[in-house]
Amino acid sequence: MTDTIQTQANETKGILAWIERSGNKLPDPVFIFLWCIGAVMLISVIAVFFGVSALHPTQVDAAGNALVVNAESLLSAANIQRLLVEMPATFTGFHPLGYVLVVMLGAGVAERSGLFAVAMSGAMSKAPQSMLTPAVALIGMLGNLAADAAYVVLIPLAGVVFAAAGRHPIAGIAAAFAGVSGGFSANLIPGQLEPLLFGITEAAAETLDPTWNANMVGNWYFISAMTVVFLPVIWYVTDKIIEPRLAPIGAGEAESSTAGIIKAPNTKLEENEIQGLRKAGLACLGIILLWIVFCIAPGTPLIEDSATGVARYNPLLQSLVAGFFILFLSAGWAYGSAAGTIKNHRDVVRMMSEAMADLAYYLVLAFTAAHFVAMFNWSNLGLIFAINGAAFLEGSNLPDSILLAFIILFGATINLFVGSASAKWALLAPVLVPMLMLIGISPEMTTAAYRVGDGSTNIITPLMPYFPLILVFCQRWQKEFGLGSLAATMLPYSMLLLASGIMMTIIWVILGIPLGPNAPVEFVLQ
């Protein structure tokens, strides 16, 4: 009784409850994006009227001068033409759309065959609940090696895992989302983000020191430490702040087909289910071995022989979306055939079709979100904001640790408007990297500080391409879970991850700990 009263109090009081109530009073997210498009159109016209502009840090005009970036009116004839002519391409070119559709084709078979539910139920039957949250958070951060596939695969699976353990599935989704996206740069080993960011860092550093070469493991120690620091933060927020305030799921409220067949904790598996899991395991092993062959055989398609370092593995990392599709399809089909949930190939096609049907709302939402993101970029408003903000930091005379803290905050703020990590760094690095090199801070340290700010606010901005998808994942379990609910759920993660990341960076600079092999905090210009 006491727990019920406390839960109700948590739901009605506090800043998070206010954010949730206010956010849920907003219109459907589809119309929010439409209104945002209208607002950007109006602001772009005003910005053009007042001549808002900025000097591009890397590009020059025909005369060799810095290229002037002017605000563009979205109501100009050229941009209206662009909107109407490119509307299909804008939608189909939306970055996460292809990933989501491809992976969910396979995941739909694995889900509807019962594989996910049975596997997670079996795995959780003897697992201590006390370690469930840190396990999900750690897997989420390590899942960054799978790039965007982690959003599509790990996050919905975390909801299933929590449900199988008798816990709130949205708490699992939140913990996984915080790990995958909030801890976007945190990992125990370098991944495909390293060559992407350090390639930009190298180009920026060469403007001041042409001899400087990028070290692709120059942030290895730092991102490993981020994993250690962020893990208890996500664990604490999930178990002590988020899950206690989540409203119980009402009977029949969960829409997920997986939710309906999740077994109660400590329930024994049937013989056909055990047989199905064995066949699914063999199928998974076969696909994994195939991918290994693709990486070691002569003329392998998944290793770039002409590249060096981590970049050699880019084809492998980029193939993981297709790999997950084939893995889930094969495992789900193998399980269903043995367990009796799949009778013939028509059942497989039906399950794939149903998976696409579940994404109908996401497709509508993605259509408006894609156009908002695209039109915001066409206006140049995000670019101008980023350039002017970086110039402001350049003109400050702050101590190294404090300056890096402000850079983290600046990156976190920009992240609310410009979603792509590489795009933001391409804009900021030409100013920030040389500026900090001149005051004795290495390019590796500047890159590390940027990564802290970039990840922390991913989970609270609707401009993050996967934000609408996470909302859909939550609504599969709780129909009334709205935009305000998701924002209120993820805000504590964002604030504490940002605070802990800033403290870690300040301590790192004060102690002068190397950021990676041959990657000091300090820099001496030769």
Q: Whats the size of the chain, residue-wise? A: 526
Q: Are 300 and 294 in contact, with CB atoms under 8 Å apart?
A: yes
Reading the block at residue 497, the tokens are 């991850």
- Closest alpha carbon to 445 in 383, 526, 510: 510
Strand partners, 53: 70
Reading the block at residue 477, the tokens are 């379990």
Cα–chain center distance at 467: 8
At residue 260, the pLDDT reads 45
Reading the block at residue 125, the tokens are 């039957």
User: Hunting for tokens 């009116």 — which residue is that?
Assistant: 73
φ/ψ of residue 68, rounded to 5: -85, 120
Burial 388-403 (b: 16+ CB within 10 A, else e): ebbeebeeeeeebbeb
φ/ψ of residue 298, rounded to 5: -60, 135
Q: Are 150 and 468 in contact, with CB atoms under 8 Å apart?
A: no
At residue 241, the pLDDT reads 92
User: Hunting for tokens 């772009």 — which residue is that?
Assistant: 44
At residue 231, the pLDDT reads 96
- Closest alpha carbon to 457 in 448, 467, 447: 467
Angle between helices 483-511 and 169-177 (to 10 degrees): 40
Q: How many CB atoms lie within 10 A of CB 360?
A: 10
Distances 22 to 17, 19, 239, 261, 417 between C-alpha atoms, Å = 8, 5, 24, 34, 21
Q: Are 187 and 228 in contact, with CB atoms under 8 Å apart?
A: no
Give the residues of the chain that fall short of pLDDT 50: 1-12, 259-260
337-342: Cβ within 8 A, 24+ apart: 337/276, 337/279, 338/272, 338/275, 338/276, 338/278, 338/279, 338/280, 339/113, 339/114, 339/118, 339/272, 339/273, 339/275, 339/276, 340/272, 341/112, 341/113, 341/114, 341/276, 342/109, 342/113
Q: How far apart are CA 142 and CA 284, in angstroms?
A: 20
Q: Radius of gyration of the chain from Cα atoms?
A: 24
Q: How far apart are CA 508 and CA 14, in angstroms?
A: 34
Q: Where do the H-state alpha helices sit in 297-319?
A: 314-318
At residue 251, the pLDDT reads 60
